Structures are given as structure tokens and as C-alpha cells.
Structure 1
Amino acid sequence: MTTPAPAEEFQQYRPRLFGLAYRMLGSADEAEDMLQDAYLRWSGARREDIEQPGAWLAKVVTNLCLNRLTSARAQRERYPGPWLPEPVVTEGGALGPLESAEQLDTVSTALLVLLERLTPAERAVYVLREAFAYGHREIAAVLDLSEANCRQLYRRATQRVAAPTPRFTPRPEQRRSLVESFVAAAREGDVAGLERLLADDVTWWSDGGGKITAARRPIMGREKVLRFLRGALDGYAAGITLSVAEVNGAPALLAHQGDALAAVVSFEAGGDGAISELRAVVNPGKLGFVQRQLAAL
């Protein structure tokens, strides 16, 4: 039996490795860079020294991401305005298999924002445990830590990402209906329709990265968010088209201006089923990956 060429074998693991790197970094472009570095190490390694290619590659990617997170944390502390993860279209399996609600949740925008609270080691343990079902012994081998230390890091991580109140998770069809209703109301300029969809304490977050006009602070409360949306709807008449796609495991709003993607907006629902959070990525530097994905669909 012939052994697959290094590039061919690496491709078998690529979606899983990309999903790992993306969850670790919250950046699709940086995840691509990590895979490039991992492939260089993979292609230069002696095959006879690698008993389990998947585990070997996961360890390499995890440790590359840990090194990257050290500098990324410093950059995000200086980031102009709210930082949001780069959106990724998940319909094509870019982040590996997302066959369960738990797997979908590990790529949600809401969770990726919460993961920013963790130290790099806590994040690695949490991602490996929650998204890839690694045991603590396996995680210890990846991180070169003791099993007891990994258990402690995992316990601390779960406490730090826990929301103050239990999150309401609508059924997939409810979530889709909510987003489609929002898009329909926005297309029609139906402010009253938008108002009915928003919770009293709704919050709008915008990530412009200092590269485009965007709110530097969260906009809180239904009236203030509606006022903001009224202004944004004026842009719709100027050639903005709206659509819905599965992004980060859930329906999201896509806004195009001509052929260019202008924004990706993700949604969270409150306990009453109304929209409680809207997170808009408008930083052009964070939209390139998802635009390439959409062009390939």
C-alpha cells in the first residue's frame, strides 16, 4: 500500500485543523497562517516518527496558536472599539463537522467573544475539550502539562465563560425565522416591524476596527438601537442588498454594496424570543475570508 503524499494526507485533516485554529484565535486569516506553518513542519518531518498524524498535527497547530495568542491579546487591548471574531460561512464545512448543537455552539460569535476572557492555556483546554471531545489525558499530552493542571484550567475556563444568566437557545427554525423577519423588515424600511423583533434591553455591537465609521461603544436599549437602524436603513436605498446565510453555525444577515460585502450581522435571542444582541462586523479586513467563501459557493 502506497503512503499518501504529505500534501494529500494533510488535506484530510485540514477542515478539523482549521476549525481548531479558528476557535483558538477567532480569526480566519490567522487560522490560515497557522495551517501554513503547520504544513511546513509536517512536510519536513520524518513520517516514521509520527505514529498518529491527526494527534501530531493537532498538537502542532495548538501550540502555534498559543504562541500567536500572546501577541494577539496585546493587539486586542489596543483595538479601536469592540473586537468581534471574523465571520466564517459554515454551510460548506469550513470548520469541520458541526453535527450537534454543542459543536455549533463552539463556533458561535457569542462564545468566541466570551473566549477572549480566557488565558491562552485556558482557551486551548476549553476548545480541545468542548469542541473536539479530548480527554484530559489527551489534552495534557498536547499541552505538555499534567492532567491535574488541565482539569484545573478547564474548570476555571468554564466558570469564566459562563453567562450570568442561562442563555436562551431557540430552535434552528425559530432562529432562522427571527433573522428572516428582521431582514424583511429592514428591506421594507419597516421600523415598527423591527421594533417588535427587538428586546427592551437589546444591544448593538459594531466592529469597524478603526477602518470604517462604526460605533466605538455598544448601543444599548431598543430606542437607541432603532434610532441607529433608521440611519443605517438610509444606506439601503443607496444600493445595499440584504440576504441570509449560515455564519458561525447560525443564520446571519449579509449586507452587500454592489459586489462587495459590507457587513455581517449575527443575532442572539433573549428569554422572550426577541433579539437581545446584534453583532455587526463591518471592518473590511475581517470580511475578506467570508467574501471569498461566498464567491466559491
Structure 2
Amino acid sequence: MTAAQRFAELRPRLVRIAYSELGDLSEAEDVVQEAWLRLERAGADSVCDLERWLTVVVARLALDALRSARARRETYVGPWLPEPLLSPDATEDPADRVTLDETVSYALLAVLEQLSPAERTAFVLHDVFDVPFDEVADVVGRTPQAVRQLASRARRHVEHQRPRFQPTRAEHDDAVRAFASAIAEGDLAELIAVLDPDVIWTTDGGGQATAARKPLRGADRVARAWMALRRKPAIAPEATPVAVNGHLGLTIAVTDGHAMVLSFVVERRRITRIDAVRNPDKVRHALARARP
């Protein structure tokens, strides 16, 4: 097998690693392409373990890109949310869903945004992709023991943010469908019923589309805000089901011409978090990638 063939075989995993570090698929693909160019310059014959070499190089490049991105995001208009990965429906084969859920879950990516770049990298590489600590140490430039501590801190944070009661696929999908039905019918009571009392709704407009600058909290406030959009009307009543990083989500047309992609976190049959991506660049890329 040639180096090019082996790289093509490894590329999906490398892109998932970079995407999990960055939360931006376009940047992740650029990182992986740069890794290939570096391999060509170095000469594949000089590399003993191609998978290990590419994993370390991609992770290092992604870490550098993440540090740069964090500086840019300090001036970002409103909340920054990861770029979603869309597919036409949420009926993937269960084996495929496990891969997606473990590597690029949207809810996990949102939580990882709260970590330092080094913590995020250590957690993604070790806990998600099973990269040994000595290799992770090569990426972040610290000792294996220091990397263990980084991963441990990140793991505690992720566990604290993760729902205590993980929903089944049916429970998640039922809650999302109930949300879509309430929006379509303009039923405030139905919408409040499917929302957790402490639900949080975050919208990423990136300064290019109308969006709240701060998250909205509480079932009554969130539900009434959605009903206000429905009555204006600022949004189309009918939402389109779509798989967002392997879980059922929605896309909704908006009268300003910039659609939104919705991702949901569900616990005990109620929606605890709604992430709405309205940044036209992210939505356009996501929709384009979802087309056959």
C-alpha cells in the first residue's frame, strides 16, 4: 500500500480528530491537508509508523489552530458554537451512530469549548480516540504525567456537564418532534411542557444574522421567545428533521434569508439545551456537506 493510499484510509479519522479539537470542519480539513503536505516534504519512507506520525502532526496543527482561533473568538459577536455536521436524516446504522456519538457529538463539542486548548486536546486524543498518553505528551509538549492531569481535569468537567440520565434514542427523538410540533401549531403550553424548567437556548449569529447576544434561560422565557418568532412571522412554521452530528435535530427557514440549524440535549424526556446556529457561513457549509 502506498503512502497516499494509507493516508486516504486514515483521513476520515484524522479529520474527526481535528474537528473534535477545533469544532470547525473546514479548518479541520485544512489541518489534515497540511499534514499530508508535511508528509510529502518529510518523505513517507522516513516514517516508521505512519498512523502515529500523522496523528501527532494533525493534533499539533489542530492545537496551534485552536489557540489562534481562541484569540479570534474573543472578538466574535455573540456566542460561538461549533460548526454542525448534517446528514439528511437521523436513521444512520446504529454502528455508525456510535462512531459519531463518541467522536463528534455536538453536545460534547459545546462542552469542550469551555476547556483550555491543552485540556481539550488531551481529552479528545486520549478519552475519545484512545491515543496513548506518551503520544499526547508529544502533541502538547508536556510530560505524560502532566497530560494525565490535563485529561483528568477535562474529564471531570465533561462529566459535570453531561446529563445524569442519558436519554434513549427514542426519548431524544420524541422530545425533538414534540418541539417541532409545538412550533408548527403555535402551541405555547405544548412547547413549555417539552422544555426543562432550566432549559438554555444559545444562538450563534456571528454578527451576520439576527441572534441574541446572550443565552436565554428558563422554559417560560424560551417558549415565549419561540412563539414570538412564530407570530411575527420571523420563522417558517414547519421545521425539517435532520441529523446533527448523529442525533435528530432541525433546520428552520427564517424570513431574513439565513436558516438556522438546531441541536438539542434531552434529559428525562425534556429538552435541557437548544443550540441554534445561524452564522450564514457555518449553515451554508453544513447544508452543502449534507447534500448527496
TM-score normalized by the length of structure 2: 0.88
Could you tell me which residue of structure 1 aligns to residue 22 of structure 2? 25
The 10-residue stretch of structure 1 (213-222 or 81-90) with the greater mean CA deviation from structure 2: 81-90
1:31 Cα shift?
Answer: 0.9
One-letter code aligned to 1:150 = V
User: Partner of 2:104: helix, strand, or coil?
Assistant: coil
Q: Does 1:278 align with 2:266?
A: no
Q: Deviations over 1:33-76 (max 9, x none)?
A: 11221121123331211122211111111010111112111112
Shift, 1:201, TM fit: 1.6
SS of residue in 2 equivalent to 1:163: helix
- Say whether 1:250 aligns with 2:247: yes
1:98 to 1:210, Cα distance in 2 relative to 1, 3 A: farther
> Which aligned pairs between 1:85-104 and structure 2 lie closer than 5 A?
85-89=82-86, 104=101
Match of 2:58 in 1: 61
In the other structure, the counterpart of 2:289 is 293
Three-state SS of the structure 1 residue aligned to 2:229 is: helix
Corresponding position: 1:131 with 2:128 = yes
* SS of residue matched to 1:184: helix
How many residues are paired up? 287
Letter in 2 for 1:37: E
The yes-or-no answer on 1:120 pairing with 2:110 is: no
Residues 98 and 136 of structure 1, relative CA distance in 2, 3 Å threshold: farther
Q: Which amino acid aligns with 2:119?
A: E
Q: Which residues in structure 2 correspond to 1:136-155 (within 5 Å)?
A: 136-155=133-152
Does 2:117 correspond to 1:110? no
Gaps of 5+ in 1: none
**Residue 4 of structure 1: aligned partner:** 2
How far apart are the structure 1 equivalents of 2:37 and 2:218?
49
**C-alpha distance in structure 2 between counterparts of 1:62 and 1:91, whole Å:** 29
Deviations 1:225-249 (A, max 9, x none): 1111012224668756421122123
Structure 2's unaligned 5+ residue stretches are: none
AA at the equivalent of 1:282: R
Instruction: Tell me the amino acid that sits aligned with residue 287 of structure 1.
Output: V
Structure 2 residue matching 1:265: 3-state secondary structure: strand
One-letter amino acid matched to 1:223: D
In structure 2, C-alpha distance between the alignment counterparts of 1:204 and 1:173, rounded to whole Å: 22
User: Would you say the 8 A contact 1:98–1:104 is kept in 2?
Assistant: no
**Residue-by-residue CA offset, 1:263-291 (whole Å, 9 max, x unaligned):** 11111123x32111111001111112211
SS of aligned partner of 1:251 = strand
Distance 1:234 1:29, change over 3 A: farther
Compute the displacement of 1:146 (Å): 2.4
- Give 1:75's aligned residue: 72
CA distance in 2, matches of 1:43, 1:154: 32
Q: Residue deviations 1:193-230, cap 9 Å, x none?
A: 21221122211111111111101111111121111101
Name the % identity.
38
Residue 45 of structure 2 is aligned to residue 48 of structure 1: yes
Matched, 1:223 2:224: no
User: Cα distance 1:11–1:165, how it changes in 2: closer, same or farther (>3 A)?
Assistant: closer
Q: Cα distance, 1:140 vs. partner? A: 2.8
Counterpart of 1:267? Answer: 264
Q: Which amino acid aligns with 1:57?
A: L
Worse-matched range after superposition: 10-19 or 110-119: 110-119
What is the identity, as a one-letter code, of the residue corresponding to 1:176? D
Which residue of the other structure, out of 209, 213, 222, is the alignment partner of 1:212? 209
